[in-house]
Structure 1
Amino acid sequence: MTIDELKDFLEEKVIQYNTLDFIDSDPVQIPHQFHTKEDIEIAGFLAATIAWGNRKMIINNAHKMMNLLGNSPYDFVMNHTENDLEKFEGFVHRTFNADDLRVFIRSLKHIYTKYGGLENIFVTYQSEESLQEAISKFKTLFFETNSLDRTKKHISDPLNNSAAKRINMWLRWMVRNDANGVDLGIWNSISTSKLSCPLDVHSGNVARKLGVLTRKQNDAKAVIELDNKLRQMDNYDPVKYDFALFGLGVFEGF
């Protein structure tokens, strides 16, 4: 398959899967419940943080988190007391538990109070090519206070060779803005050209079968290789092909 043929094939799959129907079976439905910028980005961040494992379980537990926050994530983050955090006891999603959620809430308040919010960090530390260095910096700032060692694993660091699938997915939700309505596109100061594909088992396997990825491990080096190939097909919006790779892998067993 030539590069032009591959592009045409993937473009068709993007059209097939980048639709409102996609939302019903994806964690992106969580931030779609909200209307204000801060609520959307916090809800998306927390939902993306637990986005591994069974998709139905991910969505159910993300809804539980929103309920624990009174379905007003930003207000809860900024105005909670330590007593408010006690009601998290018993919450768990795989290895992410109540202690981790408490750390995340405290750290989010720190980010909004000291750094002007989530978007501001990524705008400040983005490079000319990508957001991967900004992700690494974000992790450092996020855990500079109130952190537990066990909680730090829940934000990946591309500079430590992680594919950082979940945070790249969240960034796609926040930055990408098209007419289809799946991604929310509420961050206007970052170009979609800097987004990286949320590389996981499904998208990685499909990418290798299609010849756009040769590296065997799903790590930061694989993300760079895949990004370079996808940008050859669309330099402005390369991460749209995530819909194609993910859809082919999850829904079609490609």
Structure 2
Amino acid sequence: MNNSLIKFLNSKVDLYNQPSFIGQDPVLIPHRFSAKQDIEIAGFFAAIFAWGNRTTIINKSNELLQLMDNAPYEFCLHHTSTDLKKLEKFKHRTFNATDVLYFVEFFKQHYNHNNSLESAFSKGVKKKDITIENGLVEFYNYFFSLDDVPDRTRKHISSPAKKSTCKRLNMYLRWMVRNDNKGVDLGIWNNIKPAQLICPLDVHVIRVAKKLGLLTRKQNDWQAALELTGELRKLDRTDPVKYDFALFGLGVIEHY
């Protein structure tokens, strides 16, 4: 790969992978908490809400967390029917109270038997897996394994099996898995390797990646996410998704 391109992208990673990035990004939401389970749940909602304007995503995430008394883990495990009623008016784009209530029930069931949400993603990953693909497929199946799943809620969780780019879940995994001590990604999980992560694909990342010759696929699907990450792996085999900072920053902030 062109050395000048590597140098250019590394400089952009250094520029944007800084604490100053947090304030205007949805990653701000999990950074509000210190307990692992609160970080996981708050971060999950923020990631799932992450389409559209970043300020709106942050505001809606904070609105939901306020309805949970800013204690999402405690709320999910020990809520009363009165507590749940507070959620009935919540709405963010196509995500409504029906969806919130199912998410809360899933978290209640999961955390009653698990200490961390990491196991929900890692249990589908085999030792030889190069990427998180099997983990994401298994997560989708596990997430919707409760009785009486609302059909409408399925659209909010993506899966490689449905050819989705899984942009929001890949972003969430970046937050939870990467631990480079730069202050942005939280790095609280240990059983998934940064090398297995897939770059989150949004319209800005796609545009910049194509302009730089890192992505040629026309369809915006799981294969495109694999293609881009494969190219980024040539730049850094152990941590390819750090370049999400460069591509996103170039696209959103610099309008490259």
Distance 1:202 1:115 in 2: 36
**Distance apart, 1:117 and its partner CA:** 3.6
Aligned runs of 1:1-254 on 2, under 5 Å? 2-114=1-113, 116-127=115-126, 128-145=129-146, 146-254=148-256
Normalized per residue, the structure richer in helix is: 1
Aligned residues of 1:111 and 1:142 also touching (Cα < 8 A): no
SS in 1 for 2:34: coil
Aligned residues of 2:124 and 2:137 also touching (Cα < 8 A): no
SS in 1 for 2:201: coil
Aligned residues of 2:21 and 2:184 also touching (Cα < 8 A): yes
Question: Which residue identity does 1:196 align to in structure 2?
Answer: I
**Distance apart, 1:123 and its partner CA:** 2.3
Question: Which residue identity does 1:130 align to in structure 2?
Answer: T
**Distance apart, 1:7 and its partner CA:** 1.1
**Distance apart, 1:116 and its partner CA:** 5.0
Distance 1:132 1:115 in 2: 22
Stretches (4+) displaced over 3 A = 114-117
SS in 1 for 2:237: coil
**Distance apart, 1:121 and its partner CA:** 2.2
**Distance apart, 1:69 and its partner CA:** 1.0
Question: Which residue identity does 1:79 align to in structure 2?
Answer: H
How well do the aligned residues superpose, as a CA RMSD in angstroms? 1.1
Distance 1:174 1:246 in 2: 18
Aligned residues of 1:162 and 1:220 also touching (Cα < 8 A): yes
Distance 1:218 1:82 in 2: 41
Question: Which residue identity does 1:40 align to in structure 2?
Answer: I
Distance 1:140 1:189 in 2: 20
**Distance apart, 1:139 and its partner CA:** 1.2
Question: Which residue identity does 1:50 align to in structure 2?
Answer: F
- TM-score by length of structure 1 reads 0.97
